[in-house]
């Protein structure tokens, strides 16, 4: 096995405007919308930590200060809970600040995911890193990111998470042309297309929001012109890396993910996610599920 550098850093782009959730996101970051009682962004950081990545950079933007506040200490609140002897809620309040070493950089203007990743260059330096998008939540039992880091350790280059979607939904994602390897869940990526028309998609294996990326991506992004939506697309940069060897930051492999993924990128999927998480909660499910059944039966 080749000796490829270990992955220790994570980048979480969180600078989007969240227009699909207006008016709620006029003053509240989309990433702070709760999944039951915990903001979506915390699940993402917990996933990075679970994979061994304790150095986390968040790429934020205007009106995102509450994200920093959430992962900071809240001394007055902690003191009040401690005085009441409310140890359970005190632990919940302290947990975000104790998860990892959090860093922040601002993306001055919304110029696409590729530009958001480029904003991480100074912090990441010449090291591989994971990139986790907040719209996708991966069930903690499936350990997708750990597997991707293992694949990077075997093949080098970059690794993307791929999930099979119906052909008619291909235009909602970046899609990959793939070749098999000797491992059932690993493929070699030969081409990538950002949100192609359904009849032009190279496959129905779509990129979901998990990446392990070689630092060579920064040089590529600096020279990548705006693509779809007049934004700098990470997919376009990874397409360039897919044609390279290890000595130039390539290639790109994909992990075929068949586990549990929860989408929070639009209102309907967000509502589905909240219901699924609530149904899995032992403190809520015994009362929530019978109520839900009665509610649906009465519709």
- Who contacts 232 (Cβ-Cβ below 8 Å, separation ≥6)? 111, 112, 113, 114, 115, 118, 221, 224, 225, 226
Residue 88 lies in a domain: yes
Residue 276 lies in a domain: no
Each residue's pLDDT, cut to its tens digit, for the chain (299 residues) gives 467 899 999 999 998 888 899 999 999 999 999 999 999 999 999 999 999 999 999 999 888 999 999 999 999 999 999 999 999 999 999 999 999 999 999 998 878 899 999 999 999 999 999 999 988 999 999 999 999 999 999 999 999 999 999 988 888 888 999 999 999 999 999 999 888 888 888 898 999 999 999 999 999 999 988 877 778 999 999 999 999 999 899 899 999 999 999 999 899 999 999 999 999 999 999 999 999 999 999 98
Find the CATH number of the domain harbouring 59. 3.90.550.10
Of 275, 133, 97, the C-alpha closest to 211 is: 133
Count of domains forming the chain: 1
Whole-angstrom distance, CA of residue 178 vs CA of residue 74: 48
Residue 192 lies in a domain: yes
Determine how many CB atoms are found less than 10 A away from the CB of residue 94.
Answer: 14
Residue 288 lies in a domain: no
Residue 228 lies in a domain: yes
Q: Domain of residue 202: give its range.
A: 9-265
Residue 135 lies in a domain: yes
Residue 232 lies in a domain: yes
Residue 145 lies in a domain: yes
What is the pTM assigned to this prediction?
A: 0.93
């Amino acid at each position: 096995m080749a000796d490829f550098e270990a992955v220790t850093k994570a980048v979480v782009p969180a600078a989007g405007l969240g227009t699909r959730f207006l008016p709620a996101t006029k003053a509240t970051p989309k990433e702070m919308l709760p999944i039951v009682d915990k903001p979506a962004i915390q699940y993402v950081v917990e996933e990075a930590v679970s994979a061994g990545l304790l150095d986390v950079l968040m790429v934020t933007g205007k009106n995102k200060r509450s994200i920093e506040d959430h992962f900071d200490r809240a001394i007055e609140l902690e003191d009040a809970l401690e005085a009441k002897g409310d140890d359970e809620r005190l632990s919940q309040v302290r947990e975000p600040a104790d998860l990892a070493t959090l860093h922040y950089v601002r993306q001055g203007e919304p110029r696409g995911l590729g530009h958001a990743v480029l904003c991480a260059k100074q912090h990441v330096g010449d090291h591989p890193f994971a990139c986790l998008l907040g719209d996708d939540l991966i069930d903690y039992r499936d350990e997708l990111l750990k597997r991707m880091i293992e694949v990077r350790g075997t093949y080098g280059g970059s690794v993307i998470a791929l999930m099979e979607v119906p052909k008619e939904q291909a235009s909602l994602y970046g899609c990959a042309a793939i070749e098999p390897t000797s491992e059932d869940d690993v493929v070699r990526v030969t081409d990538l297309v950002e949100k192609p028309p359904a009849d032009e998609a190279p496959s129905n294996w779509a990129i979901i929001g998990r990446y392990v990326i070689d630092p060579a991506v920064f040089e590529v992004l600096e020279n990548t012109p705006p693509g779809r939506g007049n934004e700098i697309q990470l997919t376009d940069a990874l397409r360039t890396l897919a044609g390279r060897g290890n000595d130039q930051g390539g290639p790109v492999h994909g992990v075929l993910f068949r586990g549990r993924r929860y989408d929070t990128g639009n209102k309907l999927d967000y509502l589905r996610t909240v219901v699924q998480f609530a149904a899995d909660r032992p403190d809520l499910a015994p009362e929530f599920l019978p109520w839900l059944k009665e509610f649906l039966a009465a519709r």
